[in-house]
Amino acid sequence: MSVTRTGGFTIGFRRFGSPWQKDISALIDWAKANEFGAMDLSRDPGDAKAVVQAGLRIGTVDLCEARGMISPDPAKRKDAVARNAEHVKAFAAVGPMNHFLAMIPEKADLPRAENFKYMVESFCELASVLEKHNARIAIEGWPGPGALCCTPETCRAFFKECPSSAMGINYDPSHLIRMGIDPLRFLREFGRRVVNVHGKDTELSAEGQYEFGREQQPTFAKVPFCGWTSWRYTIPGHGVMSWVEGFRILQSIGYKGCVCIELEDASFNGSEAGEKMGLIQGCRFLQGC
């Protein structure tokens, strides 16, 4: 089983929608043959059970209803909480789980403070169910439309308003880097909330920054897959993240979770051979960190 040199964190990958990953049994066999020790999964408790029975760890499973938790409609929020509570209970039969989501509101055009209020209300209500089943929320800071909890400002405010230990972070430095937020400083502030780590990096382009800036969309240039004019997501080691220092910080605060590679890299995505190579190359790099 592959682990990081610093901290000894289990290395895995996030399962995504490519055809070669559809069959969970075949995917488990490939993961074990290539010495991966963990997977991030979607919403099927049966898949989770198969992964655990195969002796692999689970980094996260996807929460079943995310946007409804941040809806201006009280009935939708109530229904989302109820659905997620049943989802948490179903996965608890397999073992303690981290439930993954990004805090993307149903109505991104509403004032951010208003959506923040809906988010706090819903997750405070769900907290008791999570605590009862030894489960945690894993918030990824993807800066999607109207996203909350992707910057220090709203993370700090959320954990103050919803202090339950069941509220955690899926630490993905690639999103912080693209936004210009210091990923190591973020980890020093919020590291004790981290329940899972995404092994994903970001390459920055000074030329792209000069040519297009940050505010305007390109007029003629083609935007790269999983990127923008001045940045793109990569496998670990092909971007600017200081992984060794990040792992040192995690080790110092007693982190025991996994590092799961989320493959979003134009150099590897798009073919079975390329995607397998990207995961393996990312794993090899992390083993040396």
259 has a pLDDT exceeding 90: yes
For 225-251, what is the mean pLDDT?
97
Q: Residue 224 — very low, low, confident or very high, per pLDDT cuts 50/70/90?
A: confident
Provide the pLDDT for residue 52.
98
Q: Residue 230 — very low, low, confident or very high, per pLDDT cuts 50/70/90?
A: very high
Provide the pLDDT for residue 136.
98
Walk me through the domains of the chain, giving residue ranges and CATH numbers. 11-287 (3.20.20.150)
Provide the pLDDT for residue 58.
98
The label of the residue with tokens 């800036």 reads 213
β-strands 201-204, 231-234: how paired? Answer: antiparallel
Rounded Cα distance between 163 and 208, Å, is: 40
pTM: 0.96
CB-based contacts of 99, cutoff 8 Å, min separation 6: 60, 61, 62, 63, 84, 87, 88, 91, 130, 135, 136, 137, 138
Provide the pLDDT for residue 217.
87
Q: Residue 197 — very low, low, confident or very high, per pLDDT cuts 50/70/90?
A: very high
274 has a pLDDT exceeding 90: yes
For 144-153, what is the mean pLDDT?
97
Interval 9-54: pLDDT, tens: 999 999 998 999 999 999 999 999 999 999 999 999 999 999 999 9
Task: Tokens for 221, please give them.
Answer: 């240039």
Provide the pLDDT for residue 215.
83
Rounded Cα distance between 124 and 101, Å, is: 16
Amino acid at 75: A
Environment class of residue 119 by beta-carbon count within 10 Å: exposed (0-12), middle (13-18) or buried (19+)? Answer: buried
Q: Residue 233 — very low, low, confident or very high, per pLDDT cuts 50/70/90?
A: very high
